[in-house]
């Protein structure tokens, strides 16, 4: 019995020691998961927090408030986040979010949670203070001299900027704002955690992320590629950009400040990945080839189509992709093709200039001869034909990875396809081919 009491006291001292030393260390948090049956986890209990040594750990809680009825969603450990530093109480600061979210530091600090306006309305005052620190001579000197040093540096910086009168960074204009993120019902949902990088490109990288109970794709652009992010966001927000063979858009967000700014585009996630990834590791049957080619063609045909009005949203203009390739074609679980990556896309609206119509953009391997030679005609139909040339190369990739059966070669299958539905779909989108036989 005495040994048990000693062990309990020793455990309590370990948990309390960081507080006495001025550091609210988080080792354990209260755990709860409302979707525990679906995710096959425990419903409630305690969670041991683990992370990198140089990273701080926190606890969090998320809940819903429906007409005064509180429904708890999740509780548990939260990774290093500067918004949670030195918060001993779990308090949500947002005025009217769809999902309330708070985080804090210290063991089991998420056991109780609240919303700041609710506490103010009930007459309580919320004070979130860092843990008490043991005063020392070094702390006294730092706190005494720090304001003077900061003031001196601010004066010197102001004087330097006044004399030079030009931005401190050469080719990057930090005063230019990418613009507010578009309104979306899912922008305010938290927590959203990045899990792993699935792809890298010249404009950024694509992460697999978890948004509440489902997976999403997060495409992250550095600040230097702001134009590509803004163009892709504008294409997604074009009226009529909802089609079963086009990537479904969720939200666009801006994170960080100055050169550390990251620009996010959140879309649906497809576990199979791109058509390139699938063809590298798998051969496809003729039926699968026809299904992928047909759905891919429908998506590109809809993208090229000019629709006068779409369900009261306004006219949908013709859009040229300009970087069509198998890497930008995603596959659903049933091998239905979905077209994505509109960073280089351009809209052709009647009576308006198409914007940046530089001819030599895209991936060199999929460029049409007139693009490589610099002899492109900067007209709407010219850009659509460039997309069709690229799609012809993607169809060739599909045929090259098609398995043979019943003694029929790929050439014979292509000939038989001319009698079926696939050529009709390709002809409607502007791609025709001739089969030469003996």
| Residues noted as catalytic | 323
Residues 6+ apart with CB under 8 A from 156: none
Cα–Cα distance, 343 to 359 (Å, whole number):
15
Yes or no: say if 294 and 301 are a contact pair by the CB < 8 Å rule: no
Yes or no: say if 241 and 235 are a contact pair by the CB < 8 Å rule: yes
Residues 6+ apart with CB under 8 A from 241: 235, 249, 316
Residues 6+ apart with CB under 8 A from 101: 60, 61, 62, 92, 94, 190, 191
Residue of 365, 373, 434, 435 lying closest to 394 (CA atoms):
365
Paired strand residues for 100: 63
Per-residue b/e over 402-412, b at no fewer than 16 CB within 10 Å?
beeeeeeebee
Cα–Cα distance, 417 to 150 (Å, whole number):
74
How many helices (H) and strands (E) the chain has is answered by 11, 16
Cα–Cα distance, 95 to 210 (Å, whole number):
24
Q: How buried is residue 157: exposed, middle or buried, by Cβ count under 10 Å (0-12/13-18/19+)?
A: exposed
Cα–Cα distance, 393 to 371 (Å, whole number):
15
Yes or no: say if 290 and 416 are a contact pair by the CB < 8 Å rule: no
Helical H segments across 176-310, by residue range: 226-236, 275-281, 286-304
Yes or no: say if 245 and 302 are a contact pair by the CB < 8 Å rule: yes
């Amino acid at each position: 019995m005495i040994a048990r009491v000693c062990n309990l006291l020793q455990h309590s001292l370990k948990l309390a020691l960081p507080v006495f030393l001025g550091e609210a260390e988080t080792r354990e948090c209260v755990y709860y998961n409302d979707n525990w049956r679906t995710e096959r986890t425990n419903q409630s209990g305690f969670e041991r927090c683990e992370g990198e040594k140089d990273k701080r750990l926190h606890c969090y809680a998320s809940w819903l408030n429906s007409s005064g009825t509180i429904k708890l969603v999740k509780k548990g450990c939260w990774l290093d986040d500067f918004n949670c530093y030195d918060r001993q109480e779990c308090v949500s600061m947002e005025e009217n979010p769809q999902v309330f979210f708070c985080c804090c530091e210290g063991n089991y600090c998420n056991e109780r949670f609240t919303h700041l306006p609710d506490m103010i309305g009930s007459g309580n005052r919320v004070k979130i203070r860092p843990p008490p620190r043991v005063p020392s001579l070094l702390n006294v000197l730092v706190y005494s001299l720090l304001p003077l040093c900061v003031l001196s540096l601010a004066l010197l910086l102001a004087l330097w900027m006044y004399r030079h009168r030009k931005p401190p960074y050469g080719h990057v204009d930090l005063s230019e704002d990418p613009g507010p993120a578009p309104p979306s019902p899912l922008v305010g949902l938290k927590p959203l955690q990045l899990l792993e990088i699935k792809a890298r490109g010249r404009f950024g990288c694509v992460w697999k992320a978890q948004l509440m109970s489902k997976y999403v794709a997060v495409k992250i652009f550095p600040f230097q590629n702001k134009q590509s992010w803004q163009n892709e966001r504008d294409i997604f927000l074009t009226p009529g950009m909802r089609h079963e063979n086009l990537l479904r858009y969720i939200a666009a967000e801006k994170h960080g400040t100055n050169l550390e700014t990251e620009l996010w585009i959140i879309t649906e996630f497809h576990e199979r990945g791109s058509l390139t990834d699938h063809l590298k590791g798998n051969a496809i049957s003729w039926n699968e080839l026809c299904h992928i080619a047909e759905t891919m063609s429908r998506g590109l045909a809809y993208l090229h189509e000019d629709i006068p009005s779409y369900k009261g949203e306004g006219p949908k203009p013709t859009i040229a992709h300009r970087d069509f390739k198998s890497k930008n074609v995603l596959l659903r679980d049933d091998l239905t093709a979905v077209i994505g990556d509109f960073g280089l896309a351009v809209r052709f609206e009647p009576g308006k200039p198409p914007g940046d119509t530089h001819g030599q953009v895209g991936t060199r391997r999929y460029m049409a001869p007139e693009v490589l030679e610099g002899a492109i005609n900067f007209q709407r139909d010219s850009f659509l034909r460039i997309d069709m040339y690229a799609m012809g190369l993607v169809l060739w990739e599909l045929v090259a990875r098609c398995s043979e059966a019943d003694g029929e070669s790929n050439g014979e299958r292509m000939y038989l396809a001319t009698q079926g539905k696939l050529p009709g779909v390709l002809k409607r989108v502007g791609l025709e081919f001739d089969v030469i036989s003996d």
